[in-house]
Structure 1
Amino acid sequence: MITYALRLRAAHDAGDVHVFTAMSTLKAIARRVHALEEEAAEHEKAIRKIVSAWRPDLLALTGVGPIVAATVLAAWSHAGRCATTRHLRCSRALRRSLLRRARRSVIASTVPATGS
C-alpha cells in the first residue's frame, strides 16, 4: 500500500480540492513511512552487530532476533542487577521467556493491521 501511495500523482487541475489535498497528504505520509522503515532497518542492522559481538548465542535461538536479544541484554546488564555471573547465563527459564516473546512478535507481525 505504501508503494502504491508513493506512485500517486495528485493533479493540480483536479476539480475537487478535497481529492487533491487527500492524495497529496497520503503521498507525503507514504514518503515518511518509507523513510522511517529504512531508518529502522539501519538501526536493526547496528543492533544486530552489537548483539553479535556481545552474545551471538542469543541470536542462535529460534525466533530470537536482534531486538529481542538486545532487550534481554539491556534488562540483564545493569550493575548489581544479578548477584553472580551465574545469573547472566542463558538459563532454561530465560530461553523459554525469549521464545514466548519471539512467538508473540511473529504472531503480531503476521496479523494484518486494520485498514490495510
Structure 2
Amino acid sequence: MSMANSASFIEPPTGSSDVDEVDSLPSSSTSSSVDDEEYVSDAEREWRESLQQLELLLTMLVVPYVGKYFGRKCAYWGWAKFMEWKYPVEIVVTSPAAFKGAGAIEAAATL
C-alpha cells in the first residue's frame, strides 16, 4: 500500500493538459488591478502605522498625564473633605488658577 502511494508522489501524472504552466506560477497576464491593489495595501499599511503611533502617544504620554492630574485633583478634594469632617477647619483655595497650574506642573514633573 505504501509503495503505490509513494510512487504517485514521485512521478508527475502523464495526462497533464497545462504543459505551458510552471508548477508554482499561474499563466495569467499582469494587469493594472495588481498596481491598484499594491497602492491600496501601501495606503492601508501606512494608515495602520499611523494608528499605532497615535495609540503609543496616547498610552505613553496623554493617559498617564491626564490620570495623574485628575488623580491629584481628586486626592486634594478628598483630603479637604476629610479634614473638614474630622477637624473643625475650612479649606479654601485662594487662587484657583494657581492651584490648577501647580497641579499641572506637578503632574508633568516626573513624566
TM-score of the superposition, structure 1-length normalised?
0.36
